[in-house]
Amino acid sequence: MWCFPKADGYSFSAAYVRDPKGKPDELKKQLTKYAELFDLDASRGEYKEHSLNLWQKDRALHSDRALLVGEAAGIVDPLIGEGIRPAMFTGVQSAGAVIGALQGDSNALASYTQSINQEWGSNLAKADFLAGLFFKAPKIAYKMGVKRPAAGQLMGKILCGELSYSQVAEKATQKLKFIPGIG
């Protein structure tokens, strides 16, 4: 959950994994409780829900004269919902591709699709796989995975680009597969 103070008010936001069997109003309830911590009455504000465009599979990110970047390209981590770093990365890469295309490289836009799918797609496929395991039994997986002190350091390295999901997926699978409901 986040609270961003603004000149004329506040933006409260939260991300969650929708469970078809879950309580539909839970997110609103939790945000309201969070706002109360700031002595604010959330019922006076505007409430909106939007889906995150999570990565699903490699796909074309270019057409004849256009490129998809960031969340529009679906480059959002399906395990933790990280979308800012990949949006910046695809933004920089796409700028290079546009310059290449303007300089006459007819393959520049197609190369953009290829390099993003290569550099992020394979990694996000592993994140998607881990998300599949994790969200089967999130409470237990959280306790046995995320709450461990080493998990924070591991996640830090992934977010800094020092480690890839591909490098940790096998180890994580070994740990998670012994958890009842996941294995």
Ligand X SMILES: Cc1cc2nc3c(=O)[nH]c(=O)nc-3n(C[C@H](O)[C@H](O)[C@H](O)COP(=O)(O)OP(=O)(O)OC[C@H]3O[C@@H](n4cnc5c(N)ncnc54)[C@H](O)[C@@H]3O)c2cc1C
85-104 positions binding ligand X, by CB under 6 A = 85, 87
DSSP bridge pairs for 67:
62
Kind and range of the H or E run holding 5: strand 2-6
Q: Site for ligand X (CB under 6 A): which residue of 60, 66, 84, 95?
A: 84
**Shortest reach from residue 174's CB to ligand X, in Å:** 27
Apex CA 99: angle with CA 69 and CA 85, to 5°? 30
- Calpha distance 129→78 (Å, rounded): 9
Q: Site for ligand X (CB under 6 A): which residue of 9, 22, 81, 161?
A: 81
- As given in the structure block, the two tokens for residue 69 are 């970047």
Quick note: the x/- pattern for ligand X over 47-76, rule CB under 6 A, is: -----x-----------------xxx---x
- As given in the structure block, the two tokens for residue 60 are 């074309």
Give the residue ranges of DSSP H helices in 25-107. Answer: 26-36, 84-102
Quick note: the x/- pattern for ligand X over 2-41, rule CB under 6 A, is: -----------xxx--------------------------
**Site of interaction with ligand X (CB under 6 A):** 13-15, 52, 70-72, 76, 81-85, 87
